[in-house]
Amino acid sequence: MYLIVDVGNTLNKLAVFDGGMLVHKKVLGKEEFLDAVNDVSATYPAIDYCMISSVGKLSEETIKALNTLYKVRVLTHESKIPFINLYETPTTLGVDRIALVAAAAVQFPEKSTLVIDAGSAITYDFLTNENKYLGGAIAPGIAMRYKALHHFTANLPLLEKIEDFTLIGNSTNRAMHSGVLEGVLFEMDGVIDAYKKEYPDLTIILTGGDTDFLRDRLKNDIFANSNFLLEGLNHILEHNID
């Protein structure tokens, strides 16, 4: 059994995989993390390896605990990966994006795949049917767009996404909702359409925190999988066990 640790800027995720199957997942804050690690260790004593992917920071106490309990692998740009990385600046490629492309490489072999991660930022990552990662794009996420409208103007309020929004906003709040939410949908569908012109048999994966909100609102057919990054980390761990 494997433990996957995904350290974000604000939240952390713990996931347990058994034979490639996700059997446990928990999303928690930094202050709860060490207790959660100990709980997982007690509940799943068969775990032997741990993969850490971090864009945030783990406390020294937590790192020590993980190293005591498991054989730890930390994802970096030097880790073994199941795809050919043609990114021009591989040392700057985020570990989260590496994990997403790894999941695409293992789960959709010999297919041109676009992975869209709708989280704090919206990332687009493209893998060819020859298993070559070419790169993609990084754009502001939904919450970031709301915060930017509030922060960089004098009078616009700080809003959060709503389920019921319209193309034509008949108030300032609704105009902001339209600009942010319709804008994200137009952007995503536009990016997908542009890729499809060059790669007609394109497979599209949608993942990230806003997956459920966006999945049924896009025009294009997609595979929605909120656990895609965790699955990618598990694939990479399997690839890096000596």
In this structure, what token pair is assigned to residue 224? Answer: 């929605």
Please give the residue range of the domain that contains residue 103: 84-233
Question: Based on the domain organization, do 126 and 222 belong to the same domain?
Answer: yes
Q: Does residue 242 lie in a domain region?
A: no
Question: Based on the domain organization, do 125 and 179 belong to the same domain?
Answer: yes
The per-residue b/e assignment along 7-38, b for 16 or more CB within 10 angstroms, e otherwise, is: bbeeebbbbbbeeeeeebeeeeebeebbebbe
In this structure, what token pair is assigned to residue 200? Answer: 């007609």
User: Which of these is catalytic: 6, 96, 117, 210?
Assistant: 96
Calpha distance 98→78 (Å, rounded): 11
Class of residue 157 by CB neighbours under 10 A (exposed 0-12, middle 13-18, buried 19+): exposed
216 labelled catalytic: no
Of 74, 96, 131, the residue at which a domain comes to its end is 74
Q: For 132-159, what is each residue's pLDDT tens digit?
A: 999 999 999 999 999 999 999 999 999 9
Question: Based on the domain organization, do 90 and 66 belong to the same domain?
Answer: no
Number of domains composing the chain: 2
Question: Based on the domain organization, do 40 and 99 belong to the same domain?
Answer: no
Q: For 18-67, what is each residue's pLDDT tens digit?
A: 989 999 999 988 788 888 988 999 999 999 999 999 877 777 888 888 99
Q: Does residue 240 lie in a domain region?
A: no
Q: Does residue 241 lie in a domain region?
A: no
Q: Rounded to two decimals, what is the model's pTM?
A: 0.93
